[in-house]
Amino acid sequence: MILSYPMRLACLVAVSMGLLQIGFELALWLCAPVMLRVVRTLPLRQRERLLYAVQLLPLVLALAFTGLFAVPRYVSNETNFAPEGVGWVCLLLAAALVAWWTARVAGGVRMAVRTARFRRACAGDEAVLSLSQETPVVLVGGARPRVALVGLLRPLIFISRSLIEAGGLDAPALEVVLDHERSHAAQGDNWKLLSLHCVPRLNLRLLAGKTWMQLWQNAAEWAADEDAVGGNSARALLLAETLVALARSNSAPGPQLACTNFVCEETELALRVERLIDRSPERCAPLDYRLGLALGCVALSGAVVIANFISVLGEIPEQLLHLG
């Protein structure tokens, strides 16, 4: 197919970014066993932040390599600014990758819109329980008791009326639950969740059987539990009891929103409760010299590969455009 110079450049950007991102995601998947060993040595909050950053890393690296190397090399080496033929494989790859990115971003936009509408409905139609805190708390109706942090720009905590009325949560239990959700608000976990829904990712399952996304969500809940408990064993037991009580009442997440539900999935509930009950310090083995040596070798090998890749990069953009 004959394309103009700007269209050829756009195809190159799409193909380069897509292939590089997939390559980096596969490399990340291969390195997952070592990375997870490193992650387990970190405090919970640092663990949560690292697991979030890891999911953005392939896209950031792909963008950096494309913007700093592939595009400048093509622009400096290309002498034909007239329309030129582009291979059909390149066109198919570019179309597929653009469709992939578009679908992910569109899904994130839909989530943001649904979240904004749901938040307005909660804030406008229901009673406000508390405005004394930075994050407001509102009461909502419904057959199933729920607690969640909803919203992006001005998140609020919504809690079912049944949990406030007679027979619901007592004051200490309510306070520790609200502190859990306030921790999510302080850390911007809803924004993190939205960004991960917008970023195109392969969502590969790791050796632990979970994806990076699931590992991050678990770490975010554990870190919020830790912030709410504040090292107090009585509050930890109270939070665990409340979790079990709400899980028994079939508290379940609603439609796909940018929100953090207090009750997690049933498959993760037992581990979360166990962590709250067992307040002994985590036995995280420090990084030994073998793991540090392995990471150093990986970094050195990556640097050598990148150096060799850059030396022949001048020919690669043109070859990508003529695939097929």
Name residue, tokens 């870190």: 223
Q: Write down the pLDDT at residue 86.
A: 77
Q: Write down the pLDDT at residue 131.
A: 46
Q: Where are the domains of the chain?
A: 2-321
φ and ψ at residue 124, rounded to 5 degrees: -90, -30
Distance separating alpha carbons of residues 74 and 12, to the nearest angstrom: 9
Contacts (Cβ under 8 Å, ≥6 apart) of 57: 24, 28
Q: Write down the pLDDT at residue 105.
A: 93
Distance separating alpha carbons of residues 179 and 175, to the nearest angstrom: 6
Distance separating alpha carbons of residues 258 and 190, to the nearest angstrom: 5
pLDDT along the chain (324 residues), means of 10: 82 87 89 84 90 92 87 80 80 90 93 88 61 72 78 86 79 90 93 92 84 92 92 90 80 68 80 81 52 58 58 64 68
Q: Write down the pLDDT at residue 140.
A: 78
Give the CA angle between residues 152, 50, 260 to the nearest 5°: 30
- Strand intervals (E) in the chain: 2-3, 84-85, 128-130, 137-140, 147-150, 156-160, 259-261
Q: Write down the pLDDT at residue 302.
A: 58
Q: Write down the pLDDT at residue 193.
A: 93
Q: Write down the pLDDT at residue 74.
A: 80
